[in-house]
Amino acid sequence: MNILGQSLHRLDAADKVTGKARYPGDISLPNMAYMKILFAGRPHARILRIDTSKAEALPGVLGVFTAKDVPNNEYGLMMPDQPVLCGPGSNKPYADRVRFVGDQVAVVVAETEEIAEQARDLIEVVYEDLPVVTDPVAAMQPGAVLVHPELGTNIFTHDRIRKGDVEAAFAQADVIVEGEYRTPAQEHAYLQPEAGVAFMDEEDRIALYVAGQWTHEDREQVAHALQLPEEKIRIIYPAIGGAFGGREDMSVQIVLALAVWRLAQRGIRRPVKIIWSREESIIGHHKRHPYVMRAKWGATKEGKVIAAQVELIADGGAYWYTSNKVLGNAVITCTGPYEIPNVWVDGYAVYTNNVPGGAFRGFGGPQGNFVAEMQMNRLAEALGMDPVELRMRNVLREGSIMSTGTPVPPGVSIAQVLEETAKAAGWRKGPKGWYRPEDADETTWPRWEGLPKPHVKRGVGLAIGFKNVGFSFGYPENSWARVVLEGEKEIEHATVYIAGAEVGQGHHTAMAQIAAETLGIPLERVTMRVSDTAITENSGSASASRLTFMAGHAVKGAAERALWRWNVGERPVDVAFTYKAPPTTPFDEKTGFAEPNFAYGYVATAIALEVDTETGEIHVKDVILGNDVGRAVNPQQVEGQIEGGVVQALGWTLVENFIQQEGRVITDKFSTYLIPTVMDIPDHIRPLVLEYPDPRGPYGARGMGEMPFLPVASAVVHAVRQATGVWFHDFPLTGERVLRELTKEAV
């Protein structure tokens, strides 16, 4: 049918642009009550007493629930180290302690939102404030304040890689570059804050309309906290107003279920709704991990990188969340998509009293990429070598041995991605290797507009990157789909059941296209039934750039088997299929030896910008970003992912300044936490949609949703160096920070 590769309209496009689509905050049910949450509002304290009597006595209040009402007062995606509600009377030790400002202390359900808010403010809590620790480096030291005293340390994950002989290699290196780098926190800033509606459904299940990224994991965590069978919990995702990793962990799910369940036990069977304010959202869910990174790399004068030593320290904040997995990705990517024979890496995830660090687009890749690409660009400068040429001499190729001591999975395309991106940005390959002519900007790219004013300097930066597709480190990665075919002589209708979350990336449209292609029918004959644990099995998370690869295999496999049955005369056909990915292995505890991933995505970018040396303002003019997607199921959606990833990464790099002081969030609203507006986006973004089929991917497709984010920050810093002669080792590059450094250099 050639449906793959067509930029077909998204299935949800019309509903979203007309306002017909219903997000969790849009849903209202008959006789609905409303919830408000009392947040801790302080970074570290012991709760001595909670008095809810005034709140409960307020007319219109249906219930007030605290830690004593939670049957199993713990949750966590990777480790259940966080109380559902903090306070005395819990069945879990140390639940009487709050560890960051967004810890939840009590919930109120009332007839109206206004009454619930008023009652929440009547709850009296007596705290004993405790010392705080907010610097992850300080938190690692002996004698530091312990966030979880029962553990005896704030270091909760330590990964290492030991490959070859690093010290001997440094002794042989002609050039050594060392540096310390810091990357900041970032707020997800999705369009709709956390919201949801819970109710008892027709089969007496606790049902929740919420926005998340993994229906079945949400169900498991709710059931775990309430000590109920999973089949008694139903998770339904309506339209989702963005995610980017920020909805992987719990926000309103467990407390909504708790409230509906406890009210039902009192004979009050009413739906309950909550919508967080933007301020509640900013303090209440995790952020991109801030990282402190120290690196020492050595190379020969011929441009071969022979040694890399890196230390990574991740601020995990108050709870575990996904810090171990994020750290693992950073450990792999901090040496870049390069074959380096001698590697020494230590990565640490550390508890502090800051807002927890967790999943965010790139999942450790942007932090690891920043240190790797900064080191490569600085090595190129120290060697007097073109940055493309240096990379070409070191990039991974088929059969290359990764830092983890195992071959890179098949389908390696970073050299091709770098070549196509470099050529588009004006680089040429001559007898002595890659170079960029002096007049490249006049003949090809970037599209400068006239001559700059004397105080405006121009620069072009380059960076590349890679990241895993799918879950890593031994997780038995799998995805389920079901296909039902109906008709007499021909397939008149196909229904695809899939649990994967549509978080704005176009997942359901891509799955419908794969189903139609496999079945040989028009897209109009395909109906999607999605994201409801009552009718779908587990398809896994909308994360790790995995859904096109994993769910694509599941849909393709189910459709192929359904078609075979159809062709032998079965009518109707109903087939479920679970795709199991190639196995992976965790880090060896001593050496880091592992087969951590079964597939990777590859990306490169060139960025042209102007720096106003009088104000420090950076204006990004032109971005070229090449991304190997294996096979573009829907090219328009791929281009949208590239454009969105570039702008979101530029926000992290240039304007988004998330400030915490002594564990308190200073930038808790969009008037203080600035995100890119239409005035901040580049003048031009040119997506290069490259297709080098992944031998393991469905129709050759590989995931790509996170990849465009990865190299942007390091490319911007490289371009600023070319423009001003100044290296920046941390960001965001606000005008104030840039001007301060430029002034310092001038002195």
Rounded to whole angstroms, the Cα distance separating 652 from 290 reads 11
pLDDT on residue 438: 78
Rounded Cα–Cα distance for residues 649 and 397 (Å): 27
Which among 622, 645, 627, 619 is positioned nearest to 712, based on CA atoms?
645
Q: What is the pLDDT of residues 192-203, one digit of tens each?
A: 999 999 999 999
**Residue reference for tokens 């952020």:** 287
Q: Tell me the backbone φ, ψ of residue 78, rounded to 5 degrees.
A: -105, -35
Helix axes 215-226, 253-265, angle to 10 degrees: 50
Is-cis flag, bond preceding 596, omega within 30? Answer: no
Measured CA to CA, the distance from residue 74 to residue 222 in angstroms comes to: 10
Burial class (CB in 10 A: 0-12, 13-18, 19+), 488: exposed
Q: Would you state the structure tokens that stand for residue 530, as one six-digit string?
A: 């999605």
Above 70 in pLDDT, residue 89? yes
Q: Which residue in the block uniquely carries the two structure tokens 């405006």?
A: 456
pLDDT tens digits, one per residue of 552-590: 999 999 999 999 999 999 999 999 999 999 999 999 999
- Return the closest-CA partner of residue 163 out of 407, 473, 402, 408: 402
Mean pLDDT score, 337-363: 98
| Cα 153 to Cα 147: distance, rounded to the nearest angstrom | 8
Percentage of the chain with pLDDT > 90? 97
Convert the pLDDT of each residue in 615-643 to its tens digit. 999 999 999 999 999 999 999 999 999 99
* 245 contacts 358 by C-beta, under 8 angstroms: yes
pLDDT of 1: 63
Total Cβ atoms within 10 A of residue 171 = 10
In terms of DSSP bridges, do strands 357-358 and 287-288 run parallel, antiparallel, or are they unpaired?
A: parallel
Q: Could you tell me which residues are beta bridge partners of residue 82?
A: 75
Give tens-digit pLDDT for 678-729: 999 999 999 999 999 999 999 999 999 999 999 999 999 999 999 999 999 9
CB neighbours (10 Å) of residue 524? Answer: 9
CB-based contacts of 741: which residues, under 8 Å, 6+ apart?
726, 728
Confidence of residue 262 (pLDDT cuts 50, 70, 90): very high
- Going from N- to C-terminal start, the domains of the chain cover 31-130, 287-471+589-746
pLDDT, tens only, 140-167? 999 999 999 999 999 999 999 999 999 9
Averaged confidence pLDDT in the chain: 97
Q: How far is Cα 464 from Cα 455, in angstroms, rounded to an integer?
A: 30
Q: How confident is the model at residue 449 (pLDDT cuts 50, 70, 90)?
A: confident
Element (H, E) at 387: helix 387-392
Of 198, 213, 188, 199, give the one whose Cα is nearest residue 275. 198
Q: Which CATH number applies to 31-130?
A: 3.90.1170.50
Whole-prediction pTM: 0.97
Q: What pLDDT is recorded for position 440?
A: 72
As given in the structure block, the two tokens for residue 551 are 């769910």
Q: Answer yes or no: is pLDDT of 673 > 70.
A: yes
Which of 13, 75, 443 has the alpha carbon at shortest distance from 258? 75
φ, ψ at 232 (rounded to 5°): -90, 0
Residue 81 corresponds to which tokens in the numbers above? 């180290």
For CA atoms 318, 319, 322, 325, the dihedral sign is: positive
Q: What is the DSSP string of 701-718?
A: ----SSGGGTTHHHHHHH
CA-wise closest residue to 317 among 95, 134, 130: 134
Place of tokens 């590239």: 642
Query: What is the distance between the alpha carbons of residues 538 and 559, in angstroms, rounded to a whole number?
Result: 17
Cα–Cα–Cα angle for 260, 265, 267, rounded to 5 degrees: 90
What residues form DSSP beta bridges with 272?
Answer: 33, 198
Burial 143-155 (b: 16+ CB within 10 A, else e): ebbbbbeeeeebb
Question: What's the pLDDT score for residue 747?
Answer: 60
Query: How far from 375 is each of 120, 176, 307, 435, 598, CA to CA, in Å?
Result: 51, 10, 12, 19, 27
Residue 481 · residue 627 · CB < 8 Å: no
3-state class of 613 per DSSP? coil
Question: Do the bridges between strand 600-612 and strand 618-628 make them parallel or antiparallel, or are there none, so unpaired?
Answer: antiparallel
Nearest partner of 715 among 446, 454, 494, 535, judged by Cα? 446
Q: Return the amino acid letter for 68.
A: K
The angle at the Cα of 486, spanning 485 to 492, to the nearest 5 degrees, equals 105
- Residue owning tokens 């890399």: 308
The conformation of residue 741, written as its DSSP 8-state character, comes to H
Given the DSSP bridges, would you call strands 195-200 and 272-275 parallel, antiparallel or unpaired?
A: antiparallel
- Provide DSSP, 407-422: BPPS---HHHHHHHHH
Nearest C-alpha neighbor of 48 from the set 104, 88, 84: 88
Q: Which amino acid is at 559?
A: A
- Token match 């040694």: residue? 307
Burial class of residue 694, CB neighbours in 10 A (0-12, 13-18, 19+): buried
Q: DSSP secondary-structure letter at 149?
A: G
Q: Which fold has domain 287-471+589-746?
A: Aldehyde Oxidoreductase; domain 4 (3.30.365)
Give me the pLDDT at residue 744, please.
87
Per residue in 392-448, pLDDT tens?
999 999 999 999 999 999 999 999 999 999 999 999 999 999 999 877 765 578 989
